[in-house]
A and B are shown apart, each in its own frame.
Chain A
C-alpha cells in the first residue's frame, strides 16, 4: 500500500476495508469452547455410566478429569500470549469473564461439597454455563452462543425438577447446546473466512 493522495470515496473504502479485515482476524477462538465443551460432556456421561451402570459410590471422581482442560488451557494461553500481536478491549473483557467463570465453577463445586448439596448442583452449574456463553455471544455478536445460553435457562429449570442422575444428563445436554454446537459453528465459519482471505 503506497502513500498517495486519494479521493474521499477511497478514504471511506480504506476505512471499511481495514475495519472488516481486522474484525475477521479477531473473531473469538473456538478452541476453548470445543475443549471444555467436549471434556465436560464426556465427564458428565462418564459420571452417569459410573453411577447408573456400575453403581460406583465415588462416581463424582470422574470430575478429576477436569485437570486435562486446565492443563490444556494453560498451555494454549501461554502459546497465544507469545504469538499475540494485537489486543482488543473485547478480548481482554472475555479473558476476565472466563477466568471469573472458572473460579465460580470451582467455588460452587466446593460449596456444594461442604454443604452436601450435590443433589442440586447441576441446575446451578447450568445457570453458570448460560451466563458465560450468553455474555460471550453478546460481545462477539454470535447468535448460536446467545441461543445456547438462553436454552440453558430452560434446561436449568427443568433439571431442578428431575432426580440427580438425570440432572447429569441435563448438564451434558446444556454443554452440548451452549458450548459444543456453537463451538463447531464458530470453527466452521473461521475455516471458511480463512479460506476466503487466502483466496483474496
Chain B
C-alpha cells in the first residue's frame, strides 16, 4: 500500500503542479502566460517558480522583448522525470490494485 508521503512534496502543491502541468505540454512559456492559465497572483507565482527553479525542475530565462522584460520558463529533464514519477505515484495512490505501466 502506497503512502501519501510517496508523492513528491515539491509537486504536491496546487500552483507548482499547475505550472509543471503546463510546462510539460509546451517547449517554453512566458510568465504572463503561466499567470493567466493558473489564475494566480504574480507574487505567489514568482515564489513557486523560484522553488521549482531551485529544485532544478525548471529553467528560467530573463530577457527583453520590444523593451519589455520577459521571463521564459522551460521544464528540465529532471523536472520531466519528477513529473512522470508524480503522475505514476498519484495513480498508484488512487488505484493501488491496478499495476502501473513504465
Contacts and interface: CB of A to CB of B under 8 A. Distances in A.
Interface string B35-62: 0011110001001100000000000000
A1 B36 CA distance: 10
A18 B14 contact: no
Interface in A109-131: none
A89 B86 CA distance: 23
A14 interface: yes
Interface stretch (A2-10, A65-73, A148-156, A177-185): A2-10
Interface in A161-199: none
Interface in A11-29: 11-12, 14-15, 17-19, 21-23, 25-26
Interface residues of A, number: 29
Interface string B82-102: 000011001101100000000
**Interface secondary structure of A, over-half rule:** helix
B55 to A, nearest CB: 15
Nearest to A4: B14
Contacts of A80: none
A14 B39 contact: no
Nearest to B30: A85
A1 B14 contact: yes
A26 B26 contact: yes
Contact of A86 (B13, B16, B26): B26
A55 interface: no
Interface of B: 4, 7, 11-18, 21-22, 24-30, 32-33, 37-40, 44, 47-48, 65-66, 86-87, 90-91, 93-94
23 contacts: A1-B18, A1-B39, A2-B14, A2-B15, A5-B12, A6-B12, A6-B13, A9-B94, A10-B14, A14-B18, A18-B21, A18-B25, A18-B37, A19-B22, A22-B21, A22-B22, A23-B25, A26-B26, A82-B66, A85-B30, A86-B30, A87-B26, A87-B28
